[in-house]
Structure 1
Amino acid sequence: MVEVPAGEFIMGTAGEEIPRWESMRCFGSHCGYTDYVRDEWPQMTVYLDEFEIDQVEVIYARYERCVEAGVCSPSREPAPSPDHPVLVKWADADAYCRWVGKRLPTEAEWEKAARGIDGRIYPWGDEWDALWLQVTFDMAYGFKTVSVGSHPEGASPYGALDMAGNAPEWVSDLYQVYPSGRFTETSLWLGGPYVRRGAYPLSMGTADVPALHYRAADRFPGGENDLSGFRCARGPEPPVLEDVMGVSTSWGSADSPVLFCHELHEFYEFIFFSSC
């Protein structure tokens, strides 16, 4: 695991940057779905306590031990190699992390581990370099993953590897629009699509581009039966809410609780979420 010190970091995407990233979804006069890019806005300052996160994604070989113990379900995706990132449903990722005495990282923890405190676009800096990660192309032909840690040159400021590329990764949070202003990290448990980070399988022949989808701030929803990779974290346990209809308890700093219940954007006909 790698250590991420306590403190503030810049999370999300600045408003003036949104048109730049949205334009990458355009091919001629046609633009792909772009609303989710706006869900990275507003850019915020987030305080987190110190935590640890796995340096690499959980691999098939380690996950198989959880299956043998009867805690995790087998992956539906055959293992290309024992040292490739395992692809599982969110519930199994959560079960594995708890089985090894850890937990899934929150969305904010994941992003801080990926980009550090300077607001960089990619784990290694602001300039795109396809040689520093494994780009996953074409969902029709399945995930094209590689052995974890194959691109050490793409390490994050804290030494985490494959934070861009290889398998997309589950985090603990549900997909929701960001609040405005400064806040402390919270988790909202309402049931619905979870957030995936770090990679998005691109479709060949579309306007999707890796420079857009492999940014540290990029986020995408995933249904409970979708398959993604994951890594585990260790640190203060996020709050479990008894009242899931409005206020969540802040954790990390001595800031006051925050209202974290927002109407979600509609995205894709098969993904919807009933909030407040």
Structure 2
Amino acid sequence: MRIRIVAIATVISISGCQCGPLPCETDSRGEGMTADVCIPGGSFEMGHEKLPLPKLREGYTSMPRNDWAPAHTVTLKPFHIDSHEVTWGQYRACVEAGRCSTEALQRYPETRNALSDPAFENLPVDKVTFADALTYCTWVGKRLPTEAEWERAARGTNGRDYPWGNAPPSQELLETPVSYVGSQRPGQVGSHPEDVTPEGVSDLFASVSEWVLDYYDPFYYQKSPSDDPMGPEAPVFLEEPHEYGQGNWVSSRGERAVRGSLPSRFGGDDWEDSRGAPAWFRGAEEPGFGNGFRCARDDRPLEVPPAKGLWR
């Protein structure tokens, strides 16, 4: 796997992914690393045909865009993905090793002391930049998953709408905190038995939003390659607003793709919350914003740039 548009790259060897019985064994390359799940290679249907998001909670409306269309067949090589999101305890180890930054965490009162507070130890890390996430995954010999890999892990080979199947989420999951705001905190990783795929990947629905490797392009699915897509080769900028057909409007400001739960971010008549969104829902954030993440790996050499100072 190669991250493009870099002047200097460091090559890291990634061990092979020969998928056997699922889930895969715990990664033995370092104490405290997250157990990962081996996702077999093959084809699956990515995205969805145009339709509005379902209105799942009173007072919330669907996002007025259809960037998850058209549905298209994607073929991926086997890969491993972390069974849950990186925790504060795991991120602290990277900070103590002198590799990961705490700069972004200081912007948010809710997470300013998270690395030293034992209550955060097994909670999913949040409020880290794209560069922070990339740095951590590189440090443990992995990388961020691509958008296609994240969706494949969430939807399986049968194209399910949610990580657990096609049944709508329970009210408990819909009301689960998915960000750190005031005293609100997500649950510990792996604490929602409902939010687990048949393959053993947890917290893809009712937890923090997650960085993935790709640049965001609302029109990417119209031109995506079918084999191991990695997203656009460069940041995508569109004039705002930009029509996406049938009265839908999209924009892009050089953002990175984000998957998973996206807390409410709009006010007034456009108040929106994607916590009830299916697994094919797409999000985007400017690289300097804060999100959570999990890591992935496969059997190809990985070229990564020195992430410190990039994409902030």
When normalised by structure 1's length, the TM-score is 0.74
For 1:229 and 1:60, the matched residues in 2 are separated by 10
Q: 1:101 to 1:227 in 2, by over 3 A?
A: same
Q: Is the 8 A contact 1:137 1:202 kept in 2?
A: no
For 1:142 and 1:175, the matched residues in 2 are separated by 31
One-letter amino acid matched to 1:14:
E
Q: 1:124 to 1:235 in 2, by over 3 A?
A: same
Q: Deviations over 1:144-187 (max 9, x none)?
A: 31110001222113110001121100000011123337712222
Q: 1:13 to 1:25 in 2, by over 3 A?
A: same
For 2:302 and 2:47, the matched residues in 1 are separated by 22
One-letter amino acid matched to 1:8:
S
Aligned ranges 1:13-162 → 2 under 5 Å: 13-15=48-50, 18-19=51-52, 21=53, 24=55, 33-35=63-65, 38-74=66-102, 75-76=105-106, 77-78=111-112, 79=114, 81-87=120-126, 88-130=128-170, 131-132=172-173, 135-136=176-177, 141=182, 144-162=185-203
Secondary structure, counterpart of 1:92 in structure 2:
helix
Q: Percent identity?
A: 38
Q: Is the 8 A contact 1:42 1:178 kept in 2?
A: no
Secondary structure, counterpart of 2:92 in structure 1:
helix
Q: Give the number of equivalent residue pairs.
A: 233
Query: Could you say which residue in structure 2 is the equivalent of 1:264?
Result: none
Q: Is the 8 A contact 2:213 2:256 kept in 1?
A: yes
Q: Deviations over 1:242-271 (max 9, x none)?
A: xxxxxxxxxxxxxxxxxxxxxxxxxxxxxx
Residue 31 (structure 1) shift: 6.0
One-letter amino acid matched to 1:218:
F
User: Greater share of helix residues, 1 or 2?
Assistant: 1
Larger mean Cα displacement after TM superposition, 184-193 or 202-211? 202-211
Query: Could you say which residue in structure 2 is the equivalent of 1:225?
Result: 288
Q: Is the 8 A contact 1:85 1:167 kept in 2?
A: yes
Larger mean Cα displacement after TM superposition, 52-61 or 220-229? 220-229
One-letter amino acid matched to 1:231:
R
Larger mean Cα displacement after TM superposition, 62-71 or 186-195? 186-195
Query: Could you say which residue in structure 1 is the equivalent of 2:272?
Result: 208
When normalised by structure 2's length, the TM-score is 0.66
One-letter amino acid matched to 2:147:
E
Q: Deviations over 1:39-92 (max 9, x none)?
A: 000011110000000000000001111111111101332425111111111101
Residue 202 (structure 1) shift: 2.5
Secondary structure, counterpart of 2:212 in structure 1:
strand
For 2:69 and 2:37, the matched residues in 1 are separated by 28
For 1:139 and 1:81, the matched residues in 2 are separated by 11
Query: Could you say which residue in structure 1 is the equivalent of 2:46?
Result: 11
Q: 1:70 to 1:157 in 2, by over 3 A?
A: same
For 1:32 and 1:180, the matched residues in 2 are separated by 22
For 1:89 and 1:198, the matched residues in 2 are separated by 16
For 2:175 and 2:183, the matched residues in 1 are separated by 14
One-letter amino acid matched to 2:186:
T
One-letter amino acid matched to 2:64:
T
